[in-house]
């Protein structure tokens, strides 16, 4: 009788456990659904220019899904539009940290460039701009940090600082297309044609399908193509420059019969 009771008890306990797991699974699914709905609502509010309401929606999203880097970014962007630059900077930094530690974030390079650009924009507008710049300079040296500093210098109108940081970023990451492209376009805007050619050529070698790079190359006198020749090189004449060399005629040579024939150079 005791054995029968124990069997019944364990069956009920196991069933209750399974029911709990099922309820928990349904609860997680509902939470994910609610998070997606809140994020979608936030994006719509953001696109409609209702930044305060969007910020509220994204705050709810990051509470429920703290590793959703997209929601952190849009919370930062909403706060930036509201003039809360320090808070926006914090959210942008959080976005980059989450992206660095997640597989999806590591592969989302296009979105990361968007975050980096927004971070630089918020730092330029913030009262603590100098402190933020100093913090970046104290952080471990990286191409991305130099890229951010270059964007800050560019947006602040400090061309010398921007060029210096772009150069450092370019040297640290010579195969980074985004850095080469932006640096080349910036140099072209400044009228530094020779330096612009170098960076734009490198950008074109990394990605020959970018229309902005191709157009910029034409602007600095380079024709985009496999060999990337200057326009002057493409128009070289086929005949050599200067007077034509005199035609050298061979002297007649005697043959076996003692007659003289012209030596054509052909072997019999």
Tens digits of residue pLDDT in 186-228:
999 999 999 999 999 999 999 999 999 999 999 999 999 876 6
- 54, 75: one domain: yes
CB 131 within 8 Å of CB 137: no
State the Cα–Cα distance between residues 221 and 226, nearest whole angstrom: 15
In a domain, 6, yes or no: no
Domain ranges, residue 62: 29-135
Say how many residues make up the chain. 268
Question: What integer pLDDT is reported at residue 37 of this predicted model?
Answer: 84
Same domain as 131, residue 83: yes
Same domain, 154 and 204: yes
Q: Is the pLDDT of residue 161 over 70?
A: yes
User: Quick one: which of 1, 61, 8, 67 has its CA closest to 35?
Assistant: 61
Q: How many domains does the chain have?
A: 2
Q: Please give the sequence-ordered ranges of beta strands (E in DSSP) within the chain, or none if there are none.
A: 253-254, 260-261
Contact 43, 74 (CB under 8 A): yes
How many angstroms separate the CA atoms of 5 and 112, rounded? 61
Residue 24 in tokens: 């928990």
Whether residues 154 and 219 fall in one domain: yes
128 lies in the same domain as 148? no
Interval 55-76: pLDDT, tens: 999 999 999 999 999 999 999 9
Residues 74 and 157 placed together within one structural domain of the fold: no
Whether residue 60 lies inside any domain: the answer is: yes
- Region 237-262 average pLDDT: 49
What is the average pLDDT across 168-191? 97
How many CB atoms within 10 Å of residue 95?
Answer: 28
| 174 in any annotated domain | yes
Q: List, for residues 102-122, the tens digit of each pLDDT value.
A: 999 999 999 999 999 999 999
Torsions phi, psi of 50, nearest 5? -95, 75
pLDDT digits 0-9 by tens, 8-45 = 544 444 444 433 433 343 344 444 567 788 889 999 99
Domain shared by 187 and 147, yes or no: yes
What is the pLDDT averaged over residues 152-176?
A: 97
What is the structure's pLDDT at 35? Answer: 79
Give the pLDDT of residue 6.
40
Q: Which tokens go with 133?
A: 């710049």
Specify the pLDDT at position 206: 95
Q: Are 216 and 188 in contact (CB under 8 A)?
A: yes
Q: Range with the lowest mean pLDDT among 50-54, 66-70, 83-87, 229-233? A: 229-233
Phi-psi category of 258—alpha, beta or left, where left has phi over 0 and alpha has psi -120 to 50?
A: left
More confident site: 143 or 16: 143
pLDDT value at 4 more than 90: no
DSSP state of 253: E
Q: 39-43, 144-148, 257-261: which has the minimum mean pLDDT? A: 257-261
φ and ψ at 224, to 5 degrees? -60, 140
Q: Do 122 and 41 reside in the same domain of the chain?
A: yes
Q: Domain ends where: 114, 135, 156?
A: 135
162: in domain: yes
> CATH code at 37?
1.25.40.10
Q: What is the pLDDT of residues 125-139, one digit of tens each?
A: 999 999 999 999 999
Residue 209 lies in a domain: yes
For residue 148, what pLDDT is reported? 98
């Amino acid at each position: 009788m005791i054995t029968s009771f124990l069997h019944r008890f364990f069956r009920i306990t196991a069933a209750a456990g399974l029911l709990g797991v099922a309820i928990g699974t349904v609860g997680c699914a509902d939470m994910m659904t609610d998070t997606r709905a809140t994020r979608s609502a936030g994006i719509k509010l953001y696109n409609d220019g209702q930044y305060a309401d969007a910020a509220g929606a994204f705050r709810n999203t990051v509470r429920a899904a703290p590793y959703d880097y997209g929601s952190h970014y849009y919370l930062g962007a909403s706060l930036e539009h509201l003039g809360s630059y320090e808070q926006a900077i914090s959210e942008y930094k959080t976005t980059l940290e989450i992206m660095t530690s997640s597989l999806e974030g590591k592969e989302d390079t296009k979105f990361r460039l968007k975050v980096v650009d927004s971070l630089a924009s918020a730092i330029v507008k913030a009262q603590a701009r100098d402190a933020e710049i100093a913090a970046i300079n104290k952080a471990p040296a990286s191409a991305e940090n130099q890229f951010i500093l270059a964007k800050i210098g560019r947006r602040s109108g400090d061309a010398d600082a921007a060029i210096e940081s772009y150069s450092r970023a370019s040297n640290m990451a010579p195969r980074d297309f985004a850095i080469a492209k932006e640096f080349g376009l910036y140099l072209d805007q400044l009228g530094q044609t020779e330096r612009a050619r170098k960076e734009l050529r490198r950008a074109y070698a990394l990605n020959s399908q970018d229309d902005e790079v191709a157009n910029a190359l034409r602007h600095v006198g380079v024709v985009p193509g496999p060999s990337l020749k200057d326009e002057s090189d493409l128009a070289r004449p086929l005949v050599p420059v200067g007077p034509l060399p005199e035609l050298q005629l061979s002297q007649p040579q005697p043959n076996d019969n003692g007659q003289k024939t012209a030596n054509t150079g052909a072997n019999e």
